[in-house]
């Protein structure tokens, strides 16, 4: 499934696509990660694209310099929990605590006012979602997911999914994780070279 269906969207009200926008919104999950994030930043810089990085708290602690680089390049930061926590596997209280722990670390790096959050694996319970919304988080899911973490998927297939399913306002997920690097980095290069949304390239941040 490369695009969430209407039942999921109806059940879990979150941001899937920025309607009324002509831009594409690139998002990168699971970093920062030394082998991957820096390469992704270089490609984005070359194409003058601003993206959103949904970072994992424990990775920020491991690679604080990389976290600063993302921010210094002008990208937006989103919360992807402290431990890449699956919302279906812990209690609501534990989940909120995990998100808040990550947020406190994010806030030591950036003055960004908006609190945006993406649930790892897309898994979030109603109770978790409503609690997070109540304390000011906007939940951001996606319109296009390119399965770049799958080891047996080709770079061409990742590119093809992005080309085929993207539409104005689409929020696209790629990963700057070690696991996805072999696909996400070369795929992003091709995608950026072949974007048909050229005039909006610099506005690809939520």
Give the residue numbers marked as catalytic: 29, 175
Measuring CA to CA, which residue among 60, 63, 48, 62 is closest to residue 198?
48
x/- binding map, residues 96-125, to Zn ion, per CB under 5 A? ------------------------x-----
Return the bridge partners of 15, or none. Answer: 140
The answer to whether residue 148 forms part of the interface with Zn ion (CB under 5 A) is no
d(CA 99, CA 81) in angstroms, rounded, equals 4
User: Which of 30, 39, 128, 176 forms a contact with Zn ion (CB under 5 A)?
Assistant: 30
The answer to whether residue 39 forms part of the interface with Zn ion (CB under 5 A) is no
- Within 8 A by CB and 6+ apart from 130, the residues are none
Interface region with Zn ion, contact rule CB under 5 A, candidates 28-36, 124-132, 133-141, 185-193: 28-36
The answer to whether residue 176 forms part of the interface with Zn ion (CB under 5 A) is no
Of the pair 10, 151, the CB lying nearest Zn ion is at 151
Of the pair 87, 186, the CB lying nearest Zn ion is at 87
Return the bridge partners of 54, or none. Answer: 29, 78
Residues interacting with Zn ion, by CB under 5 A? Answer: 29-30, 120
């Amino acid at each position: 499934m490369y695009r969430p269906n209407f039942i999921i969207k109806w059940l879990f009200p979150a941001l899937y696509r920025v309607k009324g926008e002509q831009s594409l919104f690139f998002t990168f999950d699971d970093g920062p990660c030394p082998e991957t994030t820096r390469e992704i930043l270089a490609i984005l810089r070359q194409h003058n694209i601003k993206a959103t990085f949904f970072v994992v708290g424990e990775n920020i602690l491991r690679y604080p310099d990389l976290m600063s680089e993302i921010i210094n390049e002008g990208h937006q930061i989103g919360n992807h929990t402290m431990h890449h926590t699956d919302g279906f596997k812990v209690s609501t209280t534990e989940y909120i605590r995990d998100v808040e722990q990550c947020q406190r670390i994010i806030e030591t790096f950036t003055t960004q006012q908006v609190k945006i959050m993406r649930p790892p694996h897309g898994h979030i319970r109603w109770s978790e979602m409503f609690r997070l919304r109540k304390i000011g988080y906007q939940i951001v899911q996606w319109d296009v997911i390119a399965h770049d973490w799958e080891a047996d998927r080709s770079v061409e297939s990742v590119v093809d999914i992005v080309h085929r399913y993207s539409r104005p306002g689409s929020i696209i997920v790629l990963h700057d994780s070690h696991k996805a690097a072999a696909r996400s980095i070369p795929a992003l290069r091709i995608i950026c070279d072949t974007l048909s949304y050229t005039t909006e390239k610099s506005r690809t941040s939520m």
